[in-house]
Structure 1
């Protein structure tokens, strides 16, 4: 599945950045699909410049007391749901969730959230909660690769 979003987004950035799986480098999403969906269960939240966008909402959520995850939310992703839908312990009221994995390498990338009441004008029917330690921006990857110079 290819994710393409062109033109100017709501932040005014001209060039959307591809968000890639940190495990294999396949495209997971695009910065044009990032939304600010605040979870009342997040431990804390802040805005940062990520993936060629300013003011990206980053939240830290936890599973049990041990595991904490810095996450962003998007409306589209290529990650695939894994397991059964869960309603308990949702960080986002009104949504059920399941794990989300990279379709190419099987790495954990976050969670898919599906609205319990689809069609609500206040909330998207589907949200992807991507863990920042599981994804990387294409421009950052490009900065790591140094091509040899021919003399």
Structure 2
């Protein structure tokens, strides 16, 4: 042996049972998430609207609010259905098909923070009397849907003109959208906390 033998040192702290240790990360997470003395839910001070925000599913960019949903019926819709997508609000979802046979479930909005790519195309529009242009997310540039403007307008207009008009709207692809209230309910647990 290489020296005097030492007796094992006892820790002054009492050892926790293994079952308590497993739940400790979850308890710490809850403590960090909810600070004492603050409300857990309810409107935030200074909140403007209780309507849920609609986010880009790819990057989380805020696109519109639930108040911006405006049903514009299409004669070419293969089907329409009512759904509760936006914080319990009922919205109409239309199934649309393009000439190549691709089908899209779409919601129509009065306005949304998307980037229309002009010039507008008048051929094969799902909405009679309207020309369309592809609309993408301004942050991640993923295709989110289409911007519609009256067919008698010039093919290229400014974004300000588009947003100011009551005659324009956007149709956004439902599976590419994410309601904020759903997104905020997601919780990612680090691998180190999993048993």
TM-score by length of 1: 0.80
CA distance in 2, matches of 1:147, 1:29: 29
Say whether the 8 Å CA contact 1:102–1:109 is kept in structure 2.
yes
- Matching residue of 1:42: 77
- Matching residue of 2:167: 125
Moved beyond 6 Å, runs of 4+: none
In the TM superposition, 1:49-68 aligns within 5 A as 49-68=84-103
Structure 1 residue 124 displacement after superposition: 3.8
1:84 aligned residue (113, 119, 128) = 119
Q: Which has the higher helix share?
A: 2
CA distance in 1, matches of 2:143, 2:128: 23
Point out where structure 2 has 5 or more consecutive residues left out of the alignment: 1-46, 154-164, 191-195
What are the superposed Cα offsets for residues 28-62 of structure 1, whole Å, 9 maximum, x if unpaired? 11110101111000000011111124331100001
Structure 1 residue 68 displacement after superposition: 0.4
Structure 1 residue 116 displacement after superposition: 2.7
- Matching residue of 1:18: 53
Greater radius of gyration (CA):
2
1:95 aligned residue (105, 130, 147) = 130
Farther off after superposition, 50-59 or 98-107: 50-59
Point out where structure 1 has 5 or more consecutive residues left out of the alignment: 8-14
Q: Which has the higher strand share?
A: 1
TM-score by length of 2: 0.63
CA distance in 2, matches of 1:52, 1:35: 16
